[in-house]
Amino acid sequence: MSRSRLLLIIGGMILTLGLLLWLVSTLLNIYTGLLTVSPWFARFVLGLILLLVAGLLAAIAYYAYLFLRPARSRHCSPLRIPTEKTEAASETLRAVQQQVDQIQDEVTRQALLNRTQEIEAELKRGALRVVIFGTGSAGKTSLVNAMVRQITGQVGATMGTTQTAQTVKFRLQGLERDVWITDTPGILEAGVAGTERDRLARQLATEADLLLFVLDNDLRQSEYIPLRLLVNLGKRSLVVFNKADLYTDADRELVLQRIRARVQSFLAPDDVVAIAANPQPVTLETGETLQPEPEILPLLTRMATVLRAEGETLIADNILLQSQRLGEEARQVLDAQRRRQAEQVVDRFQWIGAGVVSVTPLPMVDLLAAAAVNAQMVVEIGRVYGCEMNLERGKELATSLAKTLVGLGIVRGAMEIFSLALQTNVATFLVGRAIQGATAAYLTRIAGKSFIEYFQRNQTWGDGGMTAVVQEQFQLNQRDEFMKAFVQQAIARVVSPLSQRFEQPDA
């Protein structure tokens, strides 16, 4: 016990004794004074005071104990961050499941569902997945064979040249989880089959917890690009310079330095290691051939260090990344499906609007009819995107967009376009109505396409606002090839019905 603390305790004891003496003296004076009034009342007051004093002393003793007891060390669980990421992955997978349930294409829905189940199984299994990645000549399969012999003690090649992915599993000392090592096909191969193997290898690389990028020389640009992309994606990577036995010590060190210099912006120097997974045979003076043992200890050491220190986080990061990518893929499929459905709505309403306007004689009624058609179209597009909207809100949006169309001069421009296009294709007495109907259909189309963008962006118009969206859709829908086809559709859907309507009284 320190001297200062001892002095503090002695001073506290003296002060406490003085307070007790003062308290006893005070209680005696109170008790003596009350005896002259009533002995019973004096005993009651004395007992009550003593009870309160006892409670106060007990409270002081308790808080003094809490203050003076040694502080307990607090241990933060190292798995807290991975646990949060795993929970986020589970939430993402549940959201993906809801999206997948809305996909109508059976093949696509089943494929995404299978991927969801695979990630869920990975989440439960929790094995560390190491993927060997690189060109076909880099010696990836030899590396896997050497690792299996080194770690498990099995003799003999476990794999040959890899055309498809192959996986072996084992345990590393100091790790509670299984380690799965997957040998992938070579990348950057020519031909259709090579392209397909390249795609498979890159897909497997994106699913790795730890990536071993195998080289047999200095890092080329064609290898640097996929490595950098995978690191940017979040893949923890080690660069493995294989076949180092083919170089002199000086050349070997020079290649290592060059590789480390090329990757220094995203990998630590310790993450680049030199090995010889399948050393070249050595001919002895006696003429006998000696096969040296693989030199992969630097890689095993670094790999074990990374997996022990970062393994839990790597698994959590990888599962979260896979679930997020799957969610993005499902969202894109669902967005494409919704866009197709919404475009069908637009295609239907543009010709409904054309028909209504072409048979309505009064310009004011034309505007009211077009507004009503567009409002209903907005409601149905919103329903496609899961947004229940009433007709009143639809009218507000349709009116705002109509004002934008007028303000940008698109209405007048569309009238001029169809005036020129229909003059020579339509009977004179039908030209005015045909132009009105075709223009209405065209403007409804631009409005509908704009509303698709609005709902696709979660009911926002983006940074440029409604004006930018409308201008973009107008530019997309005034291309020559589109306008020619649209005019032909307008003649078939607007002019022909009008001609039949005016010919009926004479029949």
Residue 76 lies in a domain: no
pLDDT of residue 400 exceeding 80: yes
pLDDT of residue 310 exceeding 70: yes
* 426 backbone dihedrals φ, ψ, rounded to 5°: -130, 145
Identify which has the larger pLDDT, 134 or 156.
Answer: 134
Mean pLDDT estimate for the chain: 80
Residue 4 lies in a domain: no
Residue 2 lies in a domain: no
Same domain, 355 and 474: yes
Alpha helices in 126-167 (DSSP H): 140-152
Same domain, 485 and 367: yes
- Which helix (H) or strand (E) segment holds residue 193: the answer is helix 191-206
Half-sphere CA count of 473, side-chain side, radius 13 A: 24
Same domain, 221 and 95: yes
pLDDT of residue 364 exceeding 50: no
Q: Is the pTM of this model over 0.85?
A: no
SS3 call for 272: strand
Final residue of a structural domain among 44, 68, 92: 68
pLDDT of residue 157 exceeding 60: no
Final residue of a structural domain among 278, 313, 328: 328
Same domain, 403 and 323: no
Same domain, 24 and 135: no
Same domain, 193 and 281: yes
Torsion region of 130: left, alpha or beta (phi above 0 gives left; psi -120 to 50 gives alpha): beta
Same domain, 51 and 97: no
363 pLDDT band, cuts 50/70/90, is low
pLDDT of residue 51 exceeding 50: yes
CATH code of the domain in which 312 resides = 3.40.50.300
- Which helix (H) or strand (E) segment holds residue 401: the answer is helix 391-407
Residue 9 lies in a domain: no
pLDDT of residue 145 exceeding 80: yes
Residue 75 lies in a domain: no
Identify which has the larger pLDDT, 420 or 365.
Answer: 420
Range of the domain at 423: 334-506
d(CA 396, CA 489): 30
298 pLDDT band, cuts 50/70/90, is very high
pLDDT of residue 216 exceeding 80: yes
d(CA 273, CA 202): 22
Same domain, 428 and 296: no
Final residue of a structural domain among 328, 362, 395: 328
d(CA 200, CA 86): 26
Identify which has the larger pLDDT, 258 or 190.
Answer: 258
Residue 424 lies in a domain: yes
d(CA 329, CA 232): 19
Identify which has the larger pLDDT, 336 or 11.
Answer: 336
- For residue 249, CA distances in Å to 176, 244, 245, 254, 255 come to 37, 9, 9, 9, 10
> Which of 28-42, 172-186, 358-372, 376-390 comes out lowest in average pLDDT?
358-372
- Confidence at residue 467, expressed as pLDDT on a 0 to 100 scale: 92
pLDDT of residue 36 exceeding 80: no
pLDDT of residue 266 exceeding 60: yes
- Confidence at residue 415, expressed as pLDDT on a 0 to 100 scale: 77
Residue 365 lies in a domain: yes
Residue 241 lies in a domain: yes
Same domain, 240 and 217: yes
- Confidence at residue 96, expressed as pLDDT on a 0 to 100 scale: 83
Same domain, 42 and 88: no
Identify which has the larger pLDDT, 47 or 85.
Answer: 47
Same domain, 58 and 165: no
pLDDT digit string (tens) for 55-91? 766 766 665 554 444 434 333 333 344 467 777 777 8
What mean pLDDT is predicted for residues 269-292?
88
Identify which has the larger pLDDT, 116 or 364.
Answer: 116
Same domain, 108 and 155: yes
The total domain count for the chain is 3
